[in-house]
Structure 1
């Protein structure tokens, strides 16, 4: 029934009148219950203090949409402060005259339009069910709502369980895929390592081994490379290269150097010209290339040793009795001014003698390279009698106990044996 206006002095009376009014307005049961709770919460303080409140319902036009709405106001004309409208079960607007206002569209527009003719708000009467019946109806609606929420919760739990199961299966698949990728990546790296690091030359009278360690696991290759092969005259040629930089770019530069040196060596170019000729060949194609180079040639028959150097750390020779010396050869590397080895150094490997070739990552891992060279000499003496395949790794482990400047590292060892090579 519209319009409607009543005054109330007790909370039970207000609740009863509001429920009857909401029923007459055909408001949904859940909305009616929320409205009763909200109105009671706003009016409780005033009624508890003995001050009357009034309830008004009428038709209004929504100022925002221009459509008709039901408007229910709770006025507190004797209140000493505006009504508190926070945290209400059904939000309300603050209205002039110390009032709380609730607006909602008519639930049945066609039928309510008959009763909502434009006229002043006035009190009306009508027969409605008993308040207890209305409360029971609201309780049944609340129970039904709770049951529906419980069913939704169970359904969502089932859906979540299925989703979790699917996600778990996806994680398993991703983990398997990740493992496959790791295996494929590892295989690719092993194949790349095999291509970049040739196996030791097997020749009677000499035994050889090498240890390679990149500066970081994220760059499994770098600018430190080596090459060893047998020359047509039976001598073993060894090339050690340290190209500027890290990663794939420096690897490409080092590969270019080792390939150029191999070609020149196999073509029979004099050993003391190879560093300079390599620079002449490569620099027109790569102006940024800078690399140090150490060349060694060993005759398995008799142990004759010949060295050429282009700015590379010197080779270390450890005699079978433990005496050791660095074999210094002056020269400048690829990309340096006046590249080339200034001379060749000649020596002799006796049975049991150990030759150690390396890149600066082995000795310059600390602040003082000279201290690194001394430690390398001591480590080589200490491990010179180990099986040849263990010596380079043992030396590197000793040298890298403390690393202040990580760098790519190659440690290559050659030991003369007393094996008959005739």
Structure 2
């Protein structure tokens, strides 16, 4: 009995101790597992919170960026509208003339090849100078857009000033050429300048590389004035000659830029021949520019390769001081 009791105690106590140790180990492991679970959960909560915060910060940043871009786009649009308005006002100043000046009746029209900004390098003007005479001017700056319009405005103003100083067109062009070269402006400018005496019908003119001006006589004959010369702003030693023609009541003078004759379709150009055909239709000086543009756009499919301008001029009925028709030379000639 004593042996059994001793043996029982020897077996039970180690078992109990092992069980206790196992419980401790299990408890520790369970505690550690619970700790790591709680830690991972807390970490996930922190990450989730940070993620939400980052997302909110990102959304706020995106909203701020969108707002900034919207303001920038609105500002750019405002500046574009202002620049376009300024440019279009500049272009209007380049082609704004009255419909008549005494006996001189006028028609005119302009269209830019640049649809985004309706400005270009074409310009024309009709203005009084000394002794009751009228200056008739048309020009074309190489290039398009606002820079061409800027050069056009300068050239027009300079010729305007020199035409008040001298009634010799070739001399006004020579002085203008010198100034343009001094300014080192890009490209070149073609110009036709005429000085008209409305009383006598005498037209003194000079052309600097500009397409030939067409003079339709009242009987239907068409003459070409001032073709074949050097443009302005290229050669310092260039010179021009003044020609002379005589206008009568019923005659019509047509000035234009090369955007008209350079209109094309399938490789064919509208050309001077197309203009002469329209001149023979006997359309009034006021309606002729619109007719020309309608026909040119129909010919080219509505597309212009270059800016285009048309200026038409005719004299009204004879008044005091007009020379009789038979005393006036009809053919144009060059003056030294």
State the TM-score, normalizing by the size of structure 1: 0.54
**CA apart distance, 1:273:** 4.6
Query: Which of 369, 372, 380 is the matching residue for 2:271?
Result: 372
3-state SS, counterpart of residue 129 of structure 1: helix
Corresponding residue of 1:295: 193
Contact 2:210 2:227 in 1 (8 A): no
Query: Is residue 150 of structure 2 the alignment partner of residue 266 of structure 1?
Result: no
Contact 1:236 1:299 in 2 (8 A): yes
For 1:140-159, list aligned pairs within 5 A.
140-159=38-57
Corresponding residue of 2:226: 329
Contact 1:329 1:345 in 2 (8 A): no
**CA apart distance, 1:313:** 0.7
Partner Cα separation in structure 2 for residue 181 and residue 287 of structure 1: 26
Contact 2:126 2:135 in 1 (8 A): yes
Corresponding residue of 1:356: 254
Partner Cα separation in structure 1 for residue 132 and residue 54 of structure 2: 79
Query: Is residue 254 of structure 2 the alignment partner of residue 341 of structure 1?
Result: no
Query: Which of 213, 219, 224 is the matching residue for 1:315?
Result: 213
**CA apart distance, 1:211:** 0.4
User: Structure with the greater relative contact order (CA < 8 A, sep ≥ 6): 1 or 2?
Assistant: 2
**CA apart distance, 1:342:** 5.5
Query: Is residue 111 of structure 2 the alignment partner of residue 207 of structure 1?
Result: no
Corresponding residue of 1:53: none
Contact 1:244 1:291 in 2 (8 A): yes
Contact 1:300 1:421 in 2 (8 A): no
Partner Cα separation in structure 2 for residue 253 and residue 173 of structure 1: 34
Q: 1:142-189 deviations in whole A, cap 9, x for unaligned? A: 333333333333333333333333233323322332232123212322
3-state SS, counterpart of residue 340 of structure 1: coil
Q: Which runs of 5+ in 2 are unaligned?
A: 1-23, 322-336
State the TM-score, normalizing by the size of structure 2: 0.65
Corresponding residue of 1:397: 297
The structure richer in helix per residue is 2
Contact 1:274 1:340 in 2 (8 A): no
Q: Which runs of 5+ in 1 are unaligned?
A: 1-125
3-state SS, counterpart of residue 313 of structure 2: strand
Partner Cα separation in structure 2 for residue 311 and residue 147 of structure 1: 82
Partner Cα separation in structure 2 for residue 374 and residue 204 of structure 1: 32
Contact 1:331 1:339 in 2 (8 A): no
Corresponding residue of 1:231: 129
If you compute each CA radius of gyration, which structure gives the higher value, 1 or 2? 1
For 1:24-35, list aligned pairs within 5 A.
none
